[in-house]
Structure 1
Amino acid sequence: MNYLFLIGALFLISISATSFAYAQSTYDVKIPTGAASPDAPYFWQSVKDGSTDGHVDILVGDTITWKNADTATHTVTSGTATDGPDGLFDSGLFAPGQSFSFTYDDIGDYPYYCIVHPWMEGTIFVTAGYSIIPNVGKSIGDGNTHFDVEYKFNRLLANPEINQDQKSITFEIVGQSQSDDHSLELRLPSKLIDGNFILWVDGEKISDYEQVKEGDLNTLFIELTKDSKILTITGTSIVPEFGSMAMIIFGISIVSMLVLSQKNRIKF
């Protein structure tokens, strides 16, 4: 009997631990005062990151709660104003002070809008496990070499900035914490940044992190705080070390040097 009790207790503990490890998050999107007018400065406000374009990045199993802070009645309807409702969800009319929630169980891009005020449109982007920062590195070099950076965190990483001279990449940490776990898992392609990394958080060098390299991927496990704002990572190489435009310029320089050298030889 004692053994059965012990097995049952361990089973319940394992279920609780699993539920905690994979706990999902709920993010609020507010409909601000004045959103019923097409001339309003914005129609949505994401509490997750403060954005006002109606676009929210979440993970599978997360929930979005739309809260009507306007003085008018609205709907939150899956689909687009152009094509109409797609049948996934529809809040129906909900009055000021009311809210509507929907949980996303599958990966994909999910547009939504207000049937009463069709200029109010947005999209929920649902990914599995990792949030994605697209096209990192595109703003430097020839613009053709860029990477998607994946991460897991209870806040958002945004505005990646590459410093080629310092061989570093800096991220802004934005939004409100969605849990008490402030550990960051950051997956950096080695072709983007490589080497033995040195990390700074808000201008202070830190040592409380782990770096694991597997193939072409550097994974960092970093302990941050709810107040962390800036993360800078310095390596020994950064992309593009020698982009295609630099190669062209270098090639032209070599050819010019050879031509001048040949002319000098002819003079002698």
Structure 2
Amino acid sequence: MVAGLVALTPAAFADHSEVTITPAPGSGAPGCEETAEGCYIPKEATVDVGGKVIFSNTDTAAHTFTAGTAADGPSGVFDSSLVIAGSSYEWTATTVGDFPYYCMVHPWMKGLIVVQEAGAEEHDDEHDDGMTEEHMDDASATGMLSDGTEVSVWTSTPTSGEKMEISVEFHGAEHVNHDIMVTQNSEEVLNDIGAHHHDGKGMHTTAPLSSSDPVEITITFQGYGIDDPKTGPIGEVVVFSNVVPEFGTIAMMILAVAIISIVAVTAKLRVIPRF
């Protein structure tokens, strides 16, 4: 098992105030679900809270755009009813989250709408630039799950009286579910249960810290996917802890059900500024 050091790159900002979704041509017959494009185009759409989703039926068959899944039925979040060819239906997103949907007439057709806070990617971009210029002592480190997925954390410098920002990335993974707990001197400053990142990347913020001492970050992997059963090495734990602050050593432990692996990385990282 190999662990390395990485830096997270800023997310590119894009306007997600409006998105148009269309059915794939000929999706009234099975087969589109086996293509890379899927039965709804795009098969995964992103929109800001308050943004507009336009379901435009450009196909020759009538379709519905119904929140939920074919297995569990409608969720009630939105339902276009039957939209005939050439017509459209609009829905305004009001809540952050992932919303699967399907066609009640053709249940093999399914898609996903990801609703995010307005300007979320723009905020990440500004945050990363600012941290690069203003916090040269910030550090990042990487562990690995048993399935080979690298897990990276990137933190702002812990400062007494200030909140600490922590970016988490599961490299190359989508629809990641995990818990994250952060402690400082055995005091819990963050406990986020059931976090979900559709692109494998997320930002977490602690409560104001009581000191500038190092923190311990515990990430518990809860599986890939939106619906149950989820997949992957569920229950594995990755722990990032500054065990020798004066040398900037970060120890990463991956705990499996039957196997405990400890990976130590020593580098010139300064999660805590040197005095």
**TM-score (normalised: structure 1):** 0.41
Structure (1 or 2) with the greater helix fraction: 1
Greater relative contact order, per chain length (Cα 8 Å cut-off, separation 6+): 2
**TM-score (normalised: structure 2):** 0.40
- Which has the larger Rg? 1
